[in-house]
A and B are shown apart, each in its own frame.
Chain A
Amino acid sequence: MTLEVSDLQVYYRTLRGDVRALDGPTFGLADGEIMGLAGESGSGKSTLSKSLIRLDGRMRYIGGSVTLDGDEVPIWDDQAMNEFRYKRISLIPQYAMSAMNPTRKIGKMIAELLESRGVRFRDTRDELHRRLELVGLQRDVLDRYPLELSGGMKQRTVMVISTLLNPSLLIADEVTSALDVSTQRAVAETLVEFRDRRFVKSMIVVTHDISLVYQIADTIMVMYAGRLAEKASAKTIIEMPKHPYTKMLLDSLPEVGVKYEDKRLSGIPGSPPGLLKPPQGCRFRDRCPLADKQCLEQPPFVEVERDHHVACWKAE
């Protein structure tokens, strides 16, 4: 197991109380696994990925543990996390376009970044050149300012920088959502190639686009309102989902080939609960057609079949 997360709770502090954005997910990520993390806005997927890198000022660690390659990750300790950040856990931010320092040439910025991590630039330069070439960039991008590159080039540069020290875990946060479909595919396939070449061991690909992660991920984990709903292989999630939320979500997505006249899709009525005072029991209860009294109790996230975890009393 590369990553083990156990009962992790991270809340947002607000004047009106704590927002329970991440309420106790427990899951593991195998070596070499690419996991798609899917959910709507407010599901906690971004909170989860941010927690593994750095808690921002409003986020508060409440409980739970994170283990990376057998070592405990002290996510509550901003200083101690420096040992992990970038070297062992790395992130491709959502807005890679604006992730680079506009006042530095890219090469200089990378050198400064590496030195701040105690790595000599000279030792990694050859590898850097090789990897730039791999993603189809000339090495002279290092002598350029970010402004001089196109959006897709910046995205690829950031991908190379993020993975330069061969982290165990890479978190790709909505990396494709700002790109056009044809660039999207190239970027997504590069992520797989990075894993195949072992630049990174395992990967969490955060997205709201399930059809995209289905293309590249080994497993898909679906979150709803701060909790885990379902995790299984990508094929199982798409073809045989068990959680009512996953089923309804997939049914609401139009696919190329589906026409309104032939098959009228419908959305999920209602909206996700507020997380300031989340309802007791299953959080999908109010929108779920199968809900009954049993659902007033929080369903556990259990393995119902081999490698298929679901948090639902009604899953069969």
Chain B
Amino acid sequence: MLKFDRVTKVYKVGAFGGGSFTAVREASFEVRPGEVVSLIGESGSGKSTLGKMALRIASVSSGTITCDGTDVSTLRGHRRLKEYYRKVQGVFQDPFSSYNPVFKADRVFAMIRSEYHPGVSDAEWRDKVADALKVVRLDPDQVLGKYPHQLSGGQLQRMLLARALLLDIDYLVADEVISMLDASTRIDVLNLLADLKARGMGILFVTHDLALGNYISDQTVILHRGEIVERGVTSKVFADPRHPYTKKLFASVPQFHKKWDEVEAELRAREAADTSSQPYHLAEGQAVPSELVEVTEGHYVQPFHPRAAV
């Protein structure tokens, strides 16, 4: 289990690091094996920072991230880190900048081999690569021995997923992995993530796109300005959003078959029908606590002032 416990990230800003900016504040959630958790937020919400902290690209300011019981930020030394990266890997938005354009694209596989599988024979390695490529539905003849510019974005992105498979990882941080791909091919990469999930992988799916999050994830975490405003079982969060920010987000997503006005009217009507006071409604002047409140089983919301604008 990849567990985030009250994770906070403060960046130093300004010429001499005099100022500070809190990118993530007290975020707690978990990614279990065989589960996709989508982390949804707008730009600047801290969603990528959370992913980076899990991958140790950014340090944790306070709180802990544990992977199967081990505190990630205490890992020191080449060997311990190498072990960790064998379990957790990341794939990012821009497949083109993940490759060195000077070398052939399959060098990413060769690097895995020299780092993690030095004893494997050539024939055995070839089979392993072929297997991994088969899982991501790539034809080895089409992608091996090619330079990055000769391959499409979708192919490159799938090769990065195949690379992660060669490590036999348990958790994957997928940060906006399909937003640079064309509409007609992106769904295939998304389905691929779903297949990996079925093989028992835990996936942290970072996205700004609600529809994608809803399509693939079991759990949803909604981030707003570095704080988790709502999280829980995807079907519950999507069917019955409670926090005003989540509602606003849902009302702004362009949908087919439903115009913006209709969606908004529906949300308004539901709100008008439900005027009851809730445990997550704050009294005037009360500060927003960092603990989320349970709405129904497995659905949590940050307490808010019922009449305040977002």
Q: Is the CB of A253 within 8 A of B214?
A: no
**A124 within 8 Å of B (CB atoms):** no
Q: How far is the CA of A180 from the CA of B310 in the complex (A)?
A: 15
B254 A260 Cβ-Cβ under 8 A = no
Beta-carbon contacts of A251-262 to B below 8 Å, as 1s and 0s?
Answer: 011111111100
Q: Is A98 an interface residue (CB 8 A)?
A: no
Residues of A within 8 A of B253 (CB): 181, 211, 256
Give every chain A residue within 8 A of B182 (Cβ-Cβ). 40-41, 208
Minimum CB distance partner of A209 in chain B: B254
Within A227-280, the residues touching B (CB, 8 Å) are 238-239, 248-250, 252-260, 264-268, 271
Q: Which interface class (under 10, 10 to 19, 20 to 34, 35 or more) fits B?
A: 20 to 34
Is the CB of B256 closer than 8 A to any CB of chain A? yes
How far is the CB of B231 from the nearest CB of chain A, in Å?
A: 17
A182 touches B183 (CB 8 A): no
Q: Are the CB atoms of B184 and A212 closer together than 8 Å?
A: no
Distance between Cα atoms of A254 and B194 in the complex (Å): 14
A189 to B251, CA, bound (A): 13
Residues of A within 8 A of B186 (CB): 252, 267
**B interface SS class:** helix
Distance between B310 CB and nearest chain A CB, rounded to angstroms: 9
Tell me how many residue pairs across A and B have CB atoms closer than 8 Å: 103
Among the stretches B22-30, B68-76, B118-126, B204-212, the one at the interface with A is: B204-212
A130 to B298 Cα, complex, angstroms = 50
**Is the beta-carbon distance between B216 and A249 smaller than 8 angstroms?**
no
Whose C-beta in chain B lies nearest to the C-beta of A253? B183
**Interface core residue of B184, B208, B234 (most chain A CB under 10 Å):** B184
1/0 per residue B98-128: CB within 8 Å of A? 0000000000000000000000000000000
Q: Which of B165-208 contact A (CB under 8 A)?
A: 182-188, 190-191, 194, 208
Number of contact residues on A: which range applies? 35 or more
- B255 lies within 8 A of A211 (CB): yes
CB B153 to nearest CB in A, in angstroms, measures 9
Question: When the two chains form their complex, are residues A181 and B187 in contact, meaning their CB atoms are under 8 A apart?
Answer: no
Query: Are A258 and B185 within 8 A (Cβ)?
Result: no
Give complex CA distance A185, B185 in Å. Answer: 26
Assuming A181-B42, A182-B42, A267-B184, is B214 touching A256 (CB within 8 A)?
Answer: yes
User: Which of A182, A249, A265 has the largest count of B CB atoms less than 10 A from its CB?
Assistant: A182
Select the residue from A181, A189, A211 with max chain B CB neighbours within 10 A: A181
Residues on B close to A: CB < 8 A?
Answer: 42-43, 152, 182-188, 190-191, 194, 208, 210-212, 214-216, 234-235, 238, 248-250, 252-257, 259-260
